[in-house]
Amino acid sequence: MAQEIERRYLVDHYRWQQLSKPEGQLYRQGYLLTDPNKAIRVRITPTKGFLTIKGLSIGATRPEYEYEIPVDEAKELIDNFSATELSKIRYKLEVDNKVWEVDEFLGNNTGLIIAEIELTSEDEQFYVPVWVGKEVTGEEKYYNSNLTILPFKDWKS
């Protein structure tokens, strides 16, 4: 079974802004299904489209199937079939031979910045950069699919 092992963290805004980083890329994501046990997502990056099916997370691990699809079809699926969507700027940074993906959310999720790192096992050791803050792995409110339903702007402090 295909799976992803991913840890997620909030990002320290001040340290992130001070960091020299590569140019980010705009991602648009539409959700065809958002359910506590599974999600079906369509994603558009600047050059590609993807259809992704994700299962229930157990710890930092969950089933994931991802397929590249033509960008024009991905756009049609989001425009015509997605129940919810979000946009974000994604930055990819290599730190100590691991890739960190950092998402600065847009629209109703502006102000939220999340860093993710994919691992080969749940107990894999890795370096945590100074701009990485509190771990939010497994906290459902931070799942992208849930951010389309209850966006960051609507959270109570």
Domains of the chain, by residue range, sit at: 3-154
pTM: 0.94
CA dihedral 96, 43, 109, 106 (to 10 degrees): 80
The pLDDT score that the predictor gives to residue 157 is 65
Kindly report, residue by residue over 86-135, the tens digit of the pLDDT. Answer: 999 999 999 999 999 999 999 999 999 999 999 999 999 999 999 999 99
Kindly report, residue by residue over 54-98, the tens digit of the pLDDT. Answer: 999 888 999 999 999 999 999 999 999 999 999 999 999 999 999
CATH classification number, 3-154, choose in 2.80.10.50, 2.40.320.10, 3.40.50.1220, 3.20.20.70: 2.40.320.10
| Residue numbers annotated as active site | 31
Q: What b/e readout covers 24-62, taking b as 16+ CB neighbours within 10 angstroms?
A: eeebbbbbbebeeeebbbbbbeeeebbbbbbbebeebbb
